Structure 1
Amino acid sequence: MKLKFIYVIVAIFGILGCKSPEARRPVTQNSGSFINESIKRNKKLVAKEEAIILKMIEQDSTRNYIASSNGFWYYYNEKSTDSLNVEMPEYGDVVRFDYNIKDLNGNYIYDVGEIPTKRYAMDRENLFGGLREGLKLMKAGEKATFIFPSHKAFGYYGDKDRIGTNIPIITEVTLHTITQEINTNKSDN
């Protein structure tokens, strides 16, 4: 009788022990609230910066500001009137340009003399996003002033020197030359 009882107990434990393992729940659960709060903060920051910039533009009736589809504003200080000069930089083209950086009050952060003339291969080298997109709107010989919200300029990190966290900037850019990319992969037939 004892032997039958032991077999029954072993069979019960065997049946109960065969159930599939259940996934363990994490000790702490992340609901994504940090990310959601960060999104809310960033949207408020962008709206605040855009309101300041739009107010600044509204008060300046002497210039014809253009709203870029890339989230910044600009106007031409010197626009090309040469009808033969229609080329704008494209991917891989090398541009040579000068620029300065000011805060929204017009105080220089970096003057033209402090930043050497840049040679930049379009979209192949590092350059802050707003300036990279702004250069694509210019022709050789033109001078334009761009107003970038912080997320189009140096963003949260700044430039780790003179531009702090989330600082919108004004940048005057003079595009000297555009050298078209020479595609060496073309075969001569």
Structure 2
Amino acid sequence: MTRYLVFIAIFTLGACKSPEARYPVTQKSGSHISESIVKNQELLDKEINLIEGVMNEDSTSEYQSSQDGFWYTYNKKSEDTANTITPEFGDIVEFDYSISTLDGQVIYAEGEKATKTYAIDQEQLFSGLRQGVKLMKEGETVTFLFPSYKAYGYYGDKNKIGTNWPIKTKVTLNKITEKEEIQNQQ
């Protein structure tokens, strides 16, 4: 009988013990993140070299670097001094565009995708094109060179554009409808 009492006493005291934190069997050092950073920097450097090669080969165009991490050149620039409007948040723009590889192989020809109607910063559009359209005036045509992280990135477009493809995009901005004009129509 005393054995049972001793066993119950030990069991009871053991059951009152506060829970202890469980630690993982293996611990990660964070080296995966460091490796990923190095890999992505190498990819970006490679893409920038490709883009610089395209710009150097195209002696007829003067490319500009954007603050957003891509390059562009005007194929047709608006010479109209009264035309100073560029799209802003909430404006609706209509544009046509084509997409090709940096070496000029057509991925989507102009007209293959219907004229795009886009509400600035309110709809899905890949980040480089979303930022690039904001630099344009009505009637202008611009060629953009986007590194993959400004284009379709790691996933591609799940159709014709693969993983981490830098691209060349030619855009013609047909029309800008300003936000105030839209509100007045409603």
Would you call these one fold, judging by a TM-score over 0.5? yes
* Greater alpha carbon shift after TM alignment, 16-25 vs 110-119: 16-25
CA RMSD of aligned residues (A): 2.4
Match of 1:65 in 2: 63
1:81 lines up with 2:82 in the alignment: no
Name the structure 1 match of 2:121. Answer: 123
Partner of 1:134: 132
What is aligned with 1:145?
Answer: 143
Kindly state the Cα deviation for residue 19 of structure 1 after the two structures are TM-superposed: 7.5
CA offsets, 1:45-98, max 9 Å, x none?
A: 011000111122123221110001111000000101111110100011000000
Corresponding residue number in structure 2 for 1:156: 154
Structure 1: stretches of 5+ with no match in the other structure: 1-13, 185-189
Query: Using the alignment, how far apart are the partners of 1:116 and 1:74 within structure 2?
Result: 23
Which residue number in structure 2 is paired with residue 179 of structure 1?
Answer: 177
How far has the Cα of 1:107 moved from its partner?
A: 1.1
Give the SS at the match of 1:63.
coil
What TM-score does the superposition give when structure 1 sets the normalisation length?
A: 0.85
Matched residues, number = 181
Partner of 1:4: none
Could you say which residue in structure 2 is the equivalent of 1:40?
38
Q: Deviations over 1:127-181 (max 9, x none)?
A: 0010000001000010000000111111111111111111110000000111011
Equivalent residue letter for 2:172: T
CA distance in 1, matches of 2:50, 2:17: 63
The answer to whether the aligner puts 1:49 opposite 2:47 as a matched pair is: yes
Larger Rg: 1
Deviates further, 18-27 or 59-68: 18-27
Rounded to whole Å, the distance in 2 between the matches of 1:117 and 1:16 is 73
Deviations 1:87-124 (A, max 9, x none): 10001100000000010111111001211101000010
CA distance, structure 1, for counterparts of residue 94 and residue 112 of structure 2: 16
Q: Which amino acid counterpart does residue 88 of structure 2 have in structure 1?
A: E
Choose which of 140, 152, 168 in structure 1 pairs with 2:166: 168
Identity in percent = 56
Query: What is aligned with 2:3?
Result: none
Tell me the amino acid that sits aligned with residue 144 of structure 1.
V
State the shift of 1:21 in Å.
Answer: 5.0
Give ranges in structure 2 of 5+ residues lacking alignment.
1-11
